[in-house]
Structure 1
Amino acid sequence: MRDARRWLSRRSVLIAGASGLAVTGLAVGTATGKLPFSPALQRAVGVASSNPTTQLGSTRVERVYSEARGRMVDLVFLLPSKTPPRGLPMSLMLHGLHGNARSAAPTGTLKQLSSDVARKAVPAYGLVAVDGGDNYWHQVHPNDDPMAMLLEEVPQWLRARGFAGDTGQPFACTGVSMGGFGALLYTRRRVERRQPPAAVATLAPALITNWPEMAKRHIFTGMEDWVSLDPLRHIDETKGVANAIWCGTEDSFITGVRRYIDAAHPAVAHTAHGKHGDTFNKTVVPSLVSFLGKHVPRTTV
């Protein structure tokens, strides 16, 4: 009996130690996308299974030269696994004012995407973000045209890396704040080219309803320039594209968003308590990932 108790005590210590290691390892894995111990140990502490929910997604960051913007930019990929299939469908993710490609996605986006893909809740797809500056995703300064970058260069970059099928065209576009404005403008430009995306999704898009307020941003040459680009004035041109929009009711853009919802009748129109920023945006990430998943092209891969 004494030997048996000694063996049980030793086994308890080993399990407790392994559990502590698992907690530490999972914390590291969440930050790095890699579990820092063997599959055998993962199984021993109950964090691995035949369903690969522990195979965290992957973030890739590259520096590329954009002819359209006349500068080097970050190209950031959020991928559902470390070894995505060739031709993986991709959606654009456009950042907000004073943001960049690395901060474009709301908190939890990669975790939600990789988990949903692993559970087969959505088809496999990825997100791609790129530095667009603070120009509301259109040309403001000479030799700096972020919209041309999205339309002309991003498909080339995706195709060269084995993403987005033979054409390299993103199947959808989503954006936050200024990026939401840009996503709707991008969708319109794709429609004009007779290459419409399958879906557009926006989080608190910067739909400002009056020129004096928009003029404070010093982004447009004048009211006519803004009117020619303002998504609220060109809703009919993108009505054929599946649409989703989310916004907090305490957000400064809620008036424009409600006006857009009333006119566009998007498939998803969600407003709830919340201010402008990531605190609200991260709460709607599951809905965003699910919405995009419904529009992934089945023949791209």
Structure 2
Amino acid sequence: MPAMSALLAVGVIDFSTYRGKQGAAMGDGRISRRTMLTAGATGLALTGGGLVSLLRSSGGGGASPGSYLSLRGIERVRSRARNRDVDLVTMLPRKEVPIGLPVCLVLHGLGGDAVGTHKYGFDARLVREVALGTTPPFALVAVDGGDNYWNQVRPGDDPMAMLLDELPVWLRERGLADRPFACAGVSMGGFGALYYARMRAERHQPLRATAVASPALITSWAVMRTRRIFPSREAWEALDPLRHPHAIGNSALGVWCGEDDPFVTGTRRFISMTQPKVAYIGPGGHTADFVEGVADDVVRFLGQHAT
């Protein structure tokens, strides 16, 4: 599929008017794909199988983030690594984009999915920044990873293999750059983003940037074991970013966390060990509202590394 007009295989939705429960913890209130598709397509038109409406701007630098509508396409694709169909969500910065557009991978949190990544606000901010010329264009792409910290928990379900081996093929087929230049993760997805960056570094395909917001950096095996993700303490420690703080190599790092977030202790420790390019601890808890509040900074940080 050489052109962006061939992006859509299943449906188009407009999330711009949707707001989840304000202040709800990340991962709460999952919305079904059927519900969002049913609620969605107003404001976005289809022509020749392609997406033709991208954004609504109130004009000028004073436009609010909510006045920008981003273009999102949802496709159902088969993942052999996960042994199931998954949603692949592509969020573009404007209607007309070049072939080989750089991609930032977005990883969802526990209880979330690719469709729900809209609540982080990254896509609306990206559209605005690109429209204003303050950030170079790049795409955001999300895919369903399950509730397993982007790690293989059960035989036949390996989300990291999906990201490393299958996602590049899906991106290339859609005319996008086949290797994401960056990864942004929220909550459990923050853990996953650091894990993905580590694996890319180990494959000698390092990310240019890694952004984590409210990362689920758990400091105690007693707490982690209750999540039933890792079979043993040793298995967890082998992947724990707090025990491998420099495993992402030279990838530029940005970290954002609320001071009332239950993961702030681990995040502060990680910041102390890594001295990231951007480090922010500010008012807020482990909520979608906090992430949306720092979305501008996250997008600008990613944009600095898009070219």
Q: TM-score, normalised by structure 1?
A: 0.80
Q: CA deviation at 1:30?
A: 4.7
Please show how residues 53-64 of structure 1 align to structure 2 within 5 Å. Answer: 56-64=69-77
Distance 1:118 1:223, change over 3 A: same
- Residue aligning to 1:81: 94
5+ residue gaps in structure 1?
Answer: 1-27, 37-45
Matches within 5 A, 1:255-274: 255-274=265-284
Paired position in structure 2 for 1:243:
253
Corresponding residue for residue 156 of structure 2: 143
Equivalence map 1:55-204=2 (5 Å): 56-164=69-177, 168-204=178-214
Cα deviation 1:210-262 (Å, max 9, x = unaligned): 10000000000100000000011111222411000100000000000000000
Provide the C-alpha distance between the structure 2 equivalents of 1:277 and 1:47, rounded to a whole number of angstroms: 28
Q: Deviations over 1:28-68 (max 9, x none)?
A: 995468489xxxxxxxxx9579xxx9884200100000000
Identical columns (%): 49
Contact 1:248 1:275 in 2 (8 A): yes
Listed as ranges, the gaps of 5+ residues in structure 2 are 1-13, 18-40, 46-56
Alpha-carbon distance in structure 2 between the residues aligned to 1:225 and 1:260: 19
- Residue 229 (str. 1) matches residue 242 (str. 2): no
TM-score, normalised to structure 2, is 0.79
Kindly indicate whether the alpha-carbon contact (under 8 Å) linking 1:249 and 1:273 is maintained by their aligned counterparts in 2: yes
Structure with higher RCO (Cα < 8 A, 6+ apart)? 2
Residue 209, structure 1, aligned to residue 219, structure 2: yes
Amino acid at match of 1:70: N
Which position in structure 2 is the counterpart of 1:16?
none
The Cα of 1:82 is off from its aligned counterpart by: 2.4
Q: CA RMSD in A?
A: 2.2
Q: Is the 1:57–1:82 Cα contact (8 Å) retained in structure 2?
A: no
Larger radius of gyration: 1
Preserved contact between residue 90 and residue 172 of structure 1 (Cα < 8 Å): yes
- Counterpart CA distance in 2 for 1:29 and 1:244 is 26
- Richer in helix (by share): 1
